[in-house]
Amino acid sequence: MALDHEIPLNSLGFAKPPSETRVVVAMSGGVDSSVVAAYLADQGYDVVGVTLQLYDHGAALAKKGACCAGIDIHDARRVAEERGFPHYVLDYENIFKDAVIDEFADSYLAGATPVPCIRCNERVKFKDLLETARDLEADCMATGHYIQRKMGPNGPELHCAEDSTRDQSYFLFSTTPEQLDYLRFPLGHLPSKDATREMAAQYGLAVADKPDSQDICFVPNGNYASVIEKLRPGAAEPGEIVHADGRVLGSHEGVIHYTIGQRRGLGIGGLSDPLYVVRLDVDKKQVVVGPKEMLATRTIPVREINWLGDVPFTSRPEWRLSVKVRSTRPPREAIVRPISETEAEVELLTPEEGVSPGQACVFYASEGSRIFGGGWIWRGY
């Protein structure tokens, strides 16, 4: 029976006043995290803003549309000054290079199509930054991600954002139960990005109309190949474009310029049927092309699985779930068969085209909004 003097939980889930609840807000300088910080400060929480300096690209410092560059640090600092809470900039360049950029380059060179934003969340933001938040004696850490944390019968659960067009669950599947216990996502329930911008305008934030970041932050103008050539000189070695039946159809300027499923820009015109990149053979420096049906994949090996279910992953021989194999595609029905706690074979009930090593395979409830984690596709053919 509830006692009269029991303290009700505040909006972040703690049984104490907001003024006694310290929350570290990860501030990228964009509108989303700025609104989170302003909103929590407005509610009376003990807010500490932290911005990560992840890289210095020279040209990227003045570039709009990428997070964590110089202009974004300035924007984050200004929000903190105007709203009256402390703000720190942490130099994570070495950590970021070791944990994210180097793997990005190496996996691209190995013929994979990596998703560095997931690795950044997993290895930098939700690992080192989260530890920093604990060092600052914060009760929790809040971010501007569009995803929801809901309390279930067995503890916090990860759920898709209310606005499906902004949902970032694909990029956050590797959030562990321990991290989820500590994290908060105040924007996940909002109906649209317009609602976030309206809040920014209400708080008088200068970033209210700031454009969303589009590219991977350390890849100016989306030009992956030029970044990889800088990181790995000699990476763009020429080779042959080969048909799956063995015919040599042309030449290319480096495997790193191609991705699985690519059709345009192959430079092998004049053929009666359209051809697609179906495989990248890095050792032979070959781009292998074939008809569209060769892209269809039904069975996907997945490893490094992070499981967010209520019972152990291996407690069942198979799980009926929906899975996403690209961030831009809707979830598809699948059967997930555990091999170990961190490995599985995923059978798609409907074959999917362009499944690529290096992408994530994220698990969703067949009905409802819950996310059950996911893993990495390590061989798409």
Task: Write out the DSSP string of 156-187.
Answer: EEEEE-SSTTT--GGGGTT--HHHHHHEE-TT
Nearest to 279 by CA among 322, 240, 317: 240
Is there a binding annotation on residue 31? yes
Cα distances from 37 to residues 50, 76, 79, 132, 146, in angstroms, run 10, 10, 8, 17, 15
On whether 142 is known to bind a ligand per the annotation, the reply is no
Q: Which of 68, 140, 217, 361 is catalytic?
A: 217
Q: How far apart are CA 68 and CA 28, in angstroms?
A: 5
Residue 52 labelled as part of a binding site: yes
> How far, CA to CA in Å, does 351 sit from each of 290, 361, 378?
17, 14, 17
Annotated binding-site residue? 174: no
Active-site residue, selected from the candidate residues 120, 140, 160, 361: 120
Tokens representing residue 2 in the block: 């509830």
- Residue 29 marked in a binding site: yes
Partners of 314 in beta bridges: none
Say if residue 269 carries a ligand binding annotation: no
Cα torsion 273, 278, 281, 282 to 10°: value is: 110
Is position 261 annotated in a ligand binding site? no
| Residue 26, annotated as binding a ligand | yes
Please indicate whether residue 68 is annotated as part of the active site.
no
Does 254 count as an annotated binding residue? no
- Cα(105)–Cα(369) distance, integer angstroms: 34
Q: Is 120 a catalytic residue?
A: yes
DSSP state of 101: I
Placement of tokens 């159809």 in the chain: 249
Q: How many CB atoms are located within 10 Å of the residue 311 CB?
A: 9
Query: Is 321 marked as a binding-site residue?
Result: no
Taking the alpha carbons at both ends of the chain, their separation in whole angstroms is 58
Point out the annotated binding site.
Answer: 26-33, 52, 144
What amino acid positions are annotated as catalytic residues? Answer: 120, 217
Point out the annotated binding site for ATP.
Answer: 26-33, 52, 144
